[in-house]
Every structure is written in C-alpha cells, then in structure tokens.
A and B are shown apart, each in its own frame.
Chain A
Amino acid sequence: MEKIAEKGALDKPVVGLPPTHTITLRVNGSEKKLQLAPWVSLLDALREYLHLTGTKKGCDHGQCGACTVLVNGTRINSCLTLAIMEEGNDIVTIEGLAKGDELHPMQTAFIEHDAYQCGYCTPGQICSAIGLISEGKAKTTEEIKDLMSGNICRCGAYTNILAAVQEVWQKEGGDINE
C-alpha cells in the first residue's frame, strides 16, 4: 500500500522536473536520440536508456574497468564521463563488436583461451584489449599487462586473458621482443 502511495506522490512532483537535454548519441554505428538530465553518465545512458547492458557498472569510480567502451577508437571508462559530453563521438560497446554472426577476433580469442570467466568484467576486458591493440603501444608481455591493468578481474583469469590478447596481437603483426 505504502509503495503505491509513494509512486502516486512521484507522479506529481512538488519540485520542478530535472532539466533535460535532447541529445543524440552515436552508438555502435547508429544514432540514438535521448532525453537526458545532464548528470546521466555515459554508462547509465547505455545501460538504462539504450538497454545495452553488456557494458557493466562495477565500481562507478574509474577503479575497475568494467565500464570500458571505445570512443573514437580509444578506450575510456564510461562511468566517468557524462552522456551529454559524448555527443558527436563514435561510441562502440561490446554489443557493437561482432559483425552479424561473426565474432570480433578478440571475442574468438577469448573463447579459445578460456579467458571468459564472469560476465561482469569480460566486456570491459575485451573492449580494453581491442583499444590496447589499436593504440599500438605495447611491445612486450609486461607492457600488455601494464596497459591492461585498468581492468580488474577478481577471479584471477588474468593468465588466460593475457594469452588471448597476445594471440590477437601477434595475428595483427605484433612481435614479442623479450
């Protein structure tokens, strides 16, 4: 009973409605028009408004990497940016990696190496790994580890994740010099 009363109260706000903006986000190649308050993070816009729940909310403070997405080709933490700030940018989430039934090579490598563990950090790990390769800065295994360290895996699947990243990296012409 109480719940209904509360909901009724919510329908008739005493204070003004939050200021919203009409913004257009370009996500996985298509434009989405949204009505959002300025404080909605990109992460919340993806999950709560666009129902792209592949991107996960772990810490919500930039400390775990679960929310990693690619923006204009580089990886960022979607929890620490406002959706409204991302207008005009090209956003790619885990849902946008496969082409139809054909998985992204990084997704395939994760399967082959049993690098998928919990569903929680895997999407962020894969987006991060793709960003790592396109940034092209890792030259050694140590550097891969360092540049993947923004993604925390609580179950300790790091070894298999490293193997998957290395495989794609070598296929793309990277060599291990150590």
Chain B
Amino acid sequence: MNSFTYSRAENLETALQEKTTSLEGRFIAGGTNLLDLMKVNVEQPSHVIDIRHLPFNQITGNDAGGLRLGALATNAETAYNEQIENRYPLLVKAILAGASAQLRNRATNGGNSLQRTRCYYFYDTATACNKREPGSGCSAINGFNRIHAILGTSESCIAVHPSDMAVALAALDATVKVTGPNGERTIPFLEFHRLPGNTAHLDNNLDPDEIITSIDLPAKGFAEYNTYLKLRDRASYAFALVSVAVGLDLEGTIIKEARLALGGVAHKPWRLPEVEASLVGKEVNLENLKNAANALLAGAKGYGHNNFKIELAKRAIVRAILQAAKMEDLT
C-alpha cells in the first residue's frame, strides 16, 4: 500500500470539502474494495476520507411509496431488513448471492455499486489496461478473457461490472441520489454505470467530487414473481459468470409486465426495455422466452475464451423467467 493521510468526516460538508481539496483523495465506506485495490497499487490515494460516520445508514420510506436505502447501510443490514425482505425479495436474493457473510457485514450499498471490475489485468499493474492507465491498451481482448463481457464492449475495454446487487437494482428501476458541490441530483440506475467506449477508466457517471447518499427503490417490488439466478464456478463465494434478475407481473400464465437484467456480461447491468415490452401480453412458454433471450443477446460478441457465455446467458434467461413464474416444470 502507498502512504496516505486519513481523516474521519463528521458531516457531509467536511466530507465534500476534503474531497474537493484533495485531488487524489478517496472516500472509504466498507473498504472491502478500495483497500483490496490499494494493496495491489491499483488505487493509490493520497488521502482517505472515512465516510462511515455520516448519517446515511438508515433504510426508510421515500416519497414514491418505495424505500430509501442509505448509501452507508451495509449489504447485510439491507438484505436482512424486514421491509426489504417483504417487498423486494429480488434485491435480497441478489445481495445474498454476492461475496461472503463477512464481506456483506461491512460492504455498503453505495460502495457496492462503485466496486471496480475483477478483470485480472486490471489488478495486475505489470500489464496494459486502459481502465487502470488510459491509453495503455487492453490485455484482455487478446488474452485470457473467460470472465469478460460479450455485450456493449469496445476496442478499449471488455471488462464486466462485478456487482450482483446492481443487477437487481437495475431490474427494479432504482435511482441513485448524489450530492456534490453543486447540490443534489438523482441518477436513474440504468444511467448510472456506463459502457466503456473510449473512456474505459470511467465506470459510471458519478462526478469525482460527488458522494452517493442513498439509493431509492420505487414502490413496485415484483415481490410475488421474481428470481436472481447466478451462474458461477463455485456454488458460493464467487463472482457471476452470468446472472439474471427477473421481476414479473403475471395474470395466470400471461405476462403483464417483465423486467430482465443481466449481470456478468457487460460493463453495466444489461437491460433492454424494448425486449421487456415485447413480452407483455405473451404467454410464459418456451418459444416466447427463447425469443426474448435471443433479443437480449442480439449483438453479443465473444472474445475467444468467453464465447460460451452467449449460449449460457440465453439459457439462463429462459430458466430464470420460468423460475420467477414458478413454472420450472416447463423445461
């Protein structure tokens, strides 16, 4: 780890002020991603601002009739919150599918969405990586890319966003509330993360001097028909190769509303509202689901080692929708 100075922010104003005055400063919340990256010199902040004591650790109701998740509430507090359990079981499943009990006890809701890619070249400072060092190239495109993206990639980066929670938040149409020197703003979750384009070093649309204060869930939670299907190399404690978050509204076997988000396939949670719209009014049957899966994967491109993800994702989508609809016997 490099040397750095540390301060504990007692209120939002001082946190923001310190961030603006220290160019290479970083907020630390749970620390489970930042410290990991500092230990391998991928992150080298000159100053670390501990924001854990700011008053953003509650889970409360919001104006939309949904719930507001404090950015500093832990992943465990969120997943085991009774209201979340009752109203947003999809979110619970996604959070509990990620990391380990120890990590979830410390990892925060804000930090989770801001965690950086697990691309092994990003972690290895001896290799070229546009995300770590803009302009240096991408070692993954022609390298070992089994865990890499198949959708929305660019020539500069094929990394995936590793968060499970973010996939559920995308499906649920959450919004992110942030505060910066110019005041507050709200970013729809679907517009929070970005595709790599030719600015691979930017994971999201948060400005460097902004802080996430909360994540808001709309009233609708798809509590009856939902699933989070995570496919990975080990049964637990491993990142997703492909994951699918599904929320459905059903009338009998007819789809009234559908939400489908994919994890492990792109630089952001992958959702195509037009594919969801195309399912409305359709029956839950294999043909309709396969069509939706094909449409979601349209334009998918493999880079060699990760070609298998295209077919894996299609099958996972079909299985996940059937699981959410409680109609798994159809397979």
Query: Which residues of A come within 8 Å of B, CB atoms?
Result: 18-19, 21, 37-39, 41, 60-62, 65, 68, 74-77, 80-82, 84-85, 128, 131-132, 135, 137, 145-152
Are B31 and A131 closer than 8 Å at their CB atoms?
Answer: no
CB neighbours (8 Å) of A85 from chain B are 8, 28, 31, 50, 52
Q: Is the CB of B35 within 8 A of A41?
A: yes
Closest 8 CB pairs of A and B: A150-B100, A38-B6, A149-B236, A149-B237, A74-B105, A150-B102, A39-B1, A80-B32
Cβ A81 vs Cβ B6 within 8 A: no
A132 contact set on B, CB distance < 8 A = 101
Q: How far is the CA of A149 from the CA of B35 in the complex (A)?
A: 21
Closest A residue to B2 by CB, please name it. A39
Kindly state the separation between the CA atoms of A37 and B76 in the bound complex, as whole angstroms: 30
Say how far B32's CB is from chain A's closest CB, in angstroms: 5
Select A74's contact among B1, B36, B76, beta carbons within 8 Å.
B76
Q: Are B48 and A80 in contact (CB under 8 A)?
A: no
CA distance A148 to B101 in the complex (A): 8
Identify which of residues 88-135 in chain B touch chain A, using a CB-to-CB cut-off of 8 Å: 99-103, 105-106
Interface size class of B (residues with CB under 8 A): 20 to 34
Among candidates A38, A60, A135, residue contacting B101 with C-beta atoms closer than 8 Å: A135
Starting from the known contacts A77-B103, A77-B106, A85-B28, 15 additional A-B residue pairs (CB-CB under 8 Å) come to: A41-B35, A61-B36, A62-B32, A62-B36, A62-B99, A65-B102, A76-B106, A81-B31, A81-B106, A82-B28, A135-B76, A146-B236, A149-B235, A150-B101, A150-B103
State the Cβ distance, A14 to closest chain B Cβ, in Å.
15
Q: List 27 A-B contacts (CB under 8 A).
A: A37-B3, A38-B4, A39-B3, A62-B32, A74-B105, A75-B102, A75-B105, A76-B103, A77-B103, A80-B35, A80-B103, A82-B6, A82-B28, A82-B35, A84-B6, A84-B50, A85-B28, A131-B101, A131-B105, A146-B236, A147-B101, A148-B101, A149-B236, A150-B100, A150-B101, A151-B100, A152-B237
A82-B31, A149-B236 known; A62-B6 Cβ under 8 A: no
Q: How far is it, in angstroms, between the C-alpha of A37 and the C-alpha of B2 when the chains are bound?
A: 11
Interface centre among B1, B5, B80, B101 (most CB of A within 10 A): B101
- A60 CA to B40 CA in the complex, in Å? 11
Inter-chain CA distance A82–B8, complex, in Å, is 12
* Contact of B185 with A by CB under 8 A: no
CB distance from A90 to the nearest CB of B (A): 14
Cβ contacts under 8 Å, B282 to chain A: none
Closest CB in chain B relative to A13 CB, distance in Å: 13
Bitwise interface map of B from 60 to 103 toward A, beta carbon under 8 Å scored 1, else 0: 00000000000000001000100000000000000000011111
> Contact: B6 with A68, CB < 8 Å?
no
Q: Please, which residues of chain B bring their CB within 8 A of the CB of A74?
A: 76, 105
* A61 and B101 contact, Cβ closer than 8 Å, known pairs A38-B4, A85-B28, A85-B50: no
A148–B31 alpha-carbon span in the complex (Å)? 21
Question: B32 to chain A: which residues have CB within 8 Å?
Answer: 62, 77, 80
B contact residues around A68 at 8 Å (CB)? 102
Q: How far is the CA of A81 from the CA of B106 in the complex (A)?
A: 9
Interface residue B305 (Cβ < 8 Å from any Cβ of A): no
State whether A80 touches B36 (Cβ < 8 A): yes
Residue B315 interfacial (CB < 8 Å): no
